[in-house]
Homo-oligomer: A and B are copies of this chain.
Amino acid sequence: MADAKYDVLGIGNAIFDVLVTTDEKFLADHGMAKGGMALIDEVRAASIYRDMGPATEMSGGSGANTIVGLASFGARTAFVGKVKDDQIGKLYAHDIRAAGVAFDTRPSTGGPATGCCYVLVTPDAERTMNTYLGAAQDLTPDDIDPAQISAASIIYLEGYLWDPKNAKDAFVKAATIAHGAGRQVALTLSDAFCVDRYRDEFLDLMRKGTVDLIFANESELHSLYQTSDFETALKQLRQDTKLGVVTRSEKGCVVASKDGVVAVPASPIDKLVDTTGAGDLFAAGFLFGLVRNAGYENAGRLGALAAAEVIQHIGARPQVSLKELAKQKGLPV
């Protein structure tokens, strides 16, 4: 196995976030399921945006957020995702490259605009997401470069990739190449509704060994196994995957492997502002711990640290160097 050029390569929907603080009534008036990610078409996007307050914009996308977090820790990273060659696509490409991530996916020149997500943050800091996939729908297996995939120690895939019609083929192609090159494949389940849409396929990916490592939060895990009992779900997870990491918000996380279960506490915070990106950044820290061979407990702590940083401000990308932050906390970097 050749030395890896990248520690982690992520494949995900390239999505530009349009963030706004709002009240519960806005969610109710627009029939939104609080805390979830709903796919919206252009007509609904226009209708939501028309009613929304003034916004702040920044690059997002679950997998991309994780990769940017990894870069902030000092990992060598790459991202594969589709934007259009429009103004917003250019902002997106700038931001991810400026974060130190290799980003070579060719933008689309026709078809829908760069995807965007209306992220509604309520006073309790919960975020409710409405995603217009746009150009992200045009990611195909042709966008997967075997040489680049083979050059990454870990391939990180988001469950949301099951939504655009061709991305799933890109996903499977990448996983196959990665395994052929002796690499690891990680998957985040992304969202409880997403799990509900693709439960059987996700379980199949796990049981067939297409993915080696699963990230899930509690509600995704419960959705996956259609149970409200955490221990039952965790037991099933341990049977279905080599390594499963379950995040539990302020209760920290649980790392489950065939060898056992390790619980790691959450990082303390001063003020909860916006939970957007909490899971994405947790995954960043955990994966960073893995590629540095820091052990599951340290990996969990690095994940908790990155999640704590991102939920204390608006937006899903870190505002400080996570490498410096980890150093300050005495965690291995």
Contact = CB atoms under 8 A, between A and B. Distances in A.
A107 interface: no
Contacts of A96: 54
A211 interface: no
Interface in A85-130: 86-88, 91, 94-96, 98-99, 113
Nearest to A88: B87
A130 to B, nearest CB: 15
A57 B54 contact: no
Interface string A1-24: 000000000000000001001000
A157 B54 CA distance: 22
A180 interface: no
A317 interface: yes
A110 to B, nearest CB: 16
A53 B21 CA distance: 25
Identical chains in the assembly: 2
A113 B91 CA distance: 14
Contact of A54 (B18, B54, B95, B113): B95
A302 B211 CA distance: 58
A287 to B, nearest CB: 19
Secondary structure of the A side of the interface? mixed
Contact of A98 (B52, B56, B315): B52
A224 interface: no
Nearest to A90: B49
Report, as a range, how many residues of chain A touch the other chain: 20 to 34
A251 to B, nearest CB: 30
Contacts of A91: 18, 55, 57
A87 B21 CA distance: 22
A86 B315 CA distance: 24
Interface of A: 18, 21, 49-50, 52-59, 68, 86-88, 91, 94-96, 98-99, 113, 315, 317, 319
13 contacts: A18-B91, A52-B94, A53-B98, A54-B58, A54-B68, A54-B317, A55-B94, A55-B95, A56-B58, A57-B57, A57-B58, A57-B91, A88-B88
